């Protein structure tokens, strides 16, 4: 059976989740208290409903506890976001993801039963900052305070070299998980694989080691 999702709040974030889940073939109920917003999504999702998510009776009527996953994408109105999350938890929703506006909001959400808390603006800001600071960094995913997955563009310095030539694991303690070249992606590349200028290397490791690798081998400046 298809997984059933409910998305509460159809701003840019909630709206984009609705569109992508629908594109992936999932069953999606989109909920907002603004009839105009709901109207915008009626042809995109499985059901689009006008409701105030801070109204417990309304949530019960929608059968919210039967959904596999509920996403609370209410941004500015922190009070509504908290109240909605609390009610979803009390109604026994199995998986609740909530968008947090700031660290205080996150702390409260953790205490009242959110299973997953996301900070889309903060996370995108961090990724863009890494890209701005280094022209070699295309994308950045923080795994912990010390470890990350980074997409780096291969420069002239390593053009034509194999992974054995570079001895990346021994010298830098990092791993190249995949190499993207145009539309192709080579997952777990072999040691004899040659790297070309412009390849995108997907690297996992400690931040300081990735940084060393990037400075010594990728920077063409
Ligand atoms: P984004 O940045 O994703 O556009 P935002 O941070 O500006 O979002 P808001 O505009 O505050 O977020 O809220 C997103 C949506 O949530 C809005 O369409 C708003 O109508 C809806 N919303 C807010 N409170 C409730 C509520 N209690 N019940 C249902 N929908 C709500």
pLDDT in tens, 48-71: 999 999 999 999 999 999 999 999
State whether the beta carbon of 39 lies less than 6 angstroms from ligand 1.
Answer: no
The H-or-E segment that residue 176 falls in is strand 175-181
Residue 209, pLDDT > 70, answer yes
State whether the beta carbon of 120 lies less than 6 angstroms from ligand 1.
Answer: no
CA–CA separation, 220 and 149 (whole Å): 21
CA 144–ligand 1 middle distance (angstroms): 30
pLDDT digits (tens, 9 = 90+) for 150-171: 999 998 889 999 999 999 889 9
Q: Tell me if the pTM is above 0.85.
A: no
State whether the beta carbon of 102 lies less than 6 angstroms from ligand 1.
Answer: no
State whether the beta carbon of 151 lies less than 6 angstroms from ligand 1.
Answer: no
For the chain, list the domains and their CATH numbers.
4-118 (3.40.50.720), 123-218 (3.30.70.1450)
**Residue ID of nearest Cα to ligand 1 atom 15:** 9
């Amino acid at each position: 059976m298809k997984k059933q999702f409910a998305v509460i709040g159809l701003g840019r974030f909630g709206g984009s989740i609705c569109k992508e889940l629908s594109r992936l073939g999932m069953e999606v109920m989109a909920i907002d208290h603004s009839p105009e917003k709901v109207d915008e999504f009626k042809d995109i999702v499985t059901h689009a409903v006008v409701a105030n998510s801070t109204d417990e009776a309304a949530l019960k009527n929608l059968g919210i506890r039967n959904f596999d996953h509920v996403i609370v994408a209410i941004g500015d109105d922190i009070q509504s976001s908290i109240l909605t999350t609390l009610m979803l938890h009390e109604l026994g929703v199995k998986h609740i993801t909530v968008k947090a506006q700031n660290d205080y909001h996150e702390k409260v959400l953790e205490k009242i039963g959110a299973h997953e808390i996301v900070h889309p603006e903060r996370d995108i800001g961090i990724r863009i900052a890494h890209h701005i600071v280094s022209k070699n960094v295309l994308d950045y995913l923080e795994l912990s305070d010390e470890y990350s997955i980074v997409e780096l563009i291969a420069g002239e310095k390593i053009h034509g070299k194999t992974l054995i030539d570079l001895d990346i694991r021994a010298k830098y303690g990092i791993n190249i998980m995949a190499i993207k070249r145009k539309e192709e992606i080579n997952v777990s590349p072999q040691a004899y694989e040659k790297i070309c200028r412009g390849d995108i290397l997907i690297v996992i490791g400690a931040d300081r080691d990735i940084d060393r690798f990037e400075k010594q081998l990728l920077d063409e400046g």
